[in-house]
Each structure stands twice: as structure tokens, then as C-alpha cells.
Amino acid sequence: MRNSIPTAALSEFVNEVSGNPEEGLMSYGIEIDWESGTRARTSTKPMLVGPHKVSRSFTWKADEPRQLMGNNHGPNPQELLLSGLGSCMMVAFVAGATTEGIQLESVKIDFDGTLDLRGFMGLGSNATVGFPEINYTIHAVGDGTPEQFEELHRKAIKHSPNAQTIVNPVTLTGEITSEQIEG
């Protein structure tokens, strides 16, 4: 298997979804419970791969550093956002390399982002609340030519669901249910 991905099975799956689009619908869910202060625990819900249920028994915690009123017990939400973005780009990059017949030796993606907390704090300024810009560098070593790696980079971003969610407007809908208890 090249890059530990079976190309034949990848091809078979792509052609299966082409003939039966229902098999390409992935449904995900997570639950986040507040633990204490800025710390919260995330649990994955079972996902659907096409019409087939898959158990996903994973949990992790997010926290803020002490300087931001937390206890530094886990990565913070911004790091997890970049992790979700970069890990998705990684899947696309490796799947694309495998498809092209490129054997990878190593791939590292280095991310940096700066945001201005005045937006979060509501202090009057022109600062955006979110990241105005995210920077990354992919360090790839393998038997592809520089031109192939550049093309792979372009295609990986174009086909990465998380990268496309970040760069395009996305509808965020939500509601709240509440219960008032006697203080």
C-alpha cells in the first residue's frame, strides 16, 4: 500500500459513490459538556458513513491558559480549530499523493494565526472577532517533483471539506433550551 492507503479500495469507493451518492453522505456529531471554568469535554457521537453506523468512542478536553482565566489543561479552541483544518488538509494531501502515485516520506504542516481579543472583549476597535488571516506551510518530502507537489497543494485545499468550510461563508444555525432553577 502506498502511503498506507489502498489505492484500489480508494478507487472502488470513489466509483461506488459515483454510482450511489447515498454512500458518500457522512453525518457527524459531537457533544460538548462544560466541566469547570474555561474547560470543556468533547465526546464524539456515532457517525454515519453512507447509511451505515460507525461507533466513535473518542473524547478530549479544551481549556485556556491561566492568563485567560483557565488552567491550561488542554489545547484551546483556536488550536483545535487549526488542528481540524490542518488534519483535513493532510487527509486530502495524502489521498491526492497516493492517487498520483507519489510515495511520501514525511509531511508536516506548520500553522500560525494571530487574533485580537479586543473583538471578543467588545472593546471598541476595528478588530475582527475571529482570525483575520491563517498562515501555514506544508513541508513535504517524497518522490514527487516540485511541480507535482505544488499542484497537489492546490488540489488538496480545493477538495478539503474543512478548508472549504473556513474560506467560504457557512450558515450557522442554533437555538438554546434553558431551565431556570432557584438560586
Partner 1 sequence: MTKKPLYGDATSQPANHKAGGWIDGLDRSRKSGPFLESHPMDTMGMSTKAVHAGTHDDPRTGAVGTPIYQSSTFILHEETYGSIEEGFGRDRFIYTRYGNPSQWAVQEKLAALEGAESALVFSSGMAAISAAVLALVDKGAHVVAASDLYGGTFNLFNQEFPSLGMSATLVDSYDIEAIEAAIQPNTQILYFETITNPVLKVVDIPALVDIARRHNLRLVMDSTFAPPPVMKPLEMGVDLVVHSASKYLNGHSDLIAGVVCGSRKLVDMVWPRLLNYGGQLDPHAAFLLERGLKTLDIRMRAHEQSATALSKFLETHPCVEKVLYPMLPSHPDHERAKELMQMGTGNVTFFVKGGDQAAIRLLDHLHLPKQATSLGGIESLISLPFNSSQASMTSRQRADIGILPGCVRLSVGIEDADDLIADFDQALNAITDMKGAA
Residues near partner 1, by CB under 8 A:
1-2, 5-12, 14-16, 18, 45-46, 48, 51-58, 95-96, 99-101, 151, 155, 159
Q: Which is closer to partner 1, CB of 115 or CB of 138?
A: 138
86-125 burial: b if 16+ Cβ within 10 Å, else e: bebbbebbbbbbbbeebebeebebeeebebbeeeeeeeee
Q: Which is closer to partner 1, CB of 41 or CB of 155?
A: 155
Distance of CA 86 to the CA centre of its chain: 6
Shortest distance (Å) from residue 159 CB to partner 1: 6
Q: Which is closer to partner 1, CB of 45 or CB of 66?
A: 45
Shortest distance (Å) from residue 89 CB to partner 1: 14
Structure-derived torsion over alpha carbons of residues 118, 123, 126, 130, reported in degrees to the nearest 10: 40
User: Alpha-carbon distance 173 to 183, whole Å?
Assistant: 31
Shortest distance (Å) from residue 5 CB to partner 1: 7
Shortest distance (Å) from residue 83 CB to partner 1: 20
Q: Which is closer to partner 1, CB of 27 or CB of 135?
A: 27
Shortest distance (Å) from residue 38 CB to partner 1: 27
* DSSP per-residue codes, 113-165: E---THHHHT-SSS--SS-S-EEEEEEEEESS-HHHHHHHHHHHHHH-HHHHH
Q: Which is closer to partner 1, CB of 31 or CB of 110?
A: 31
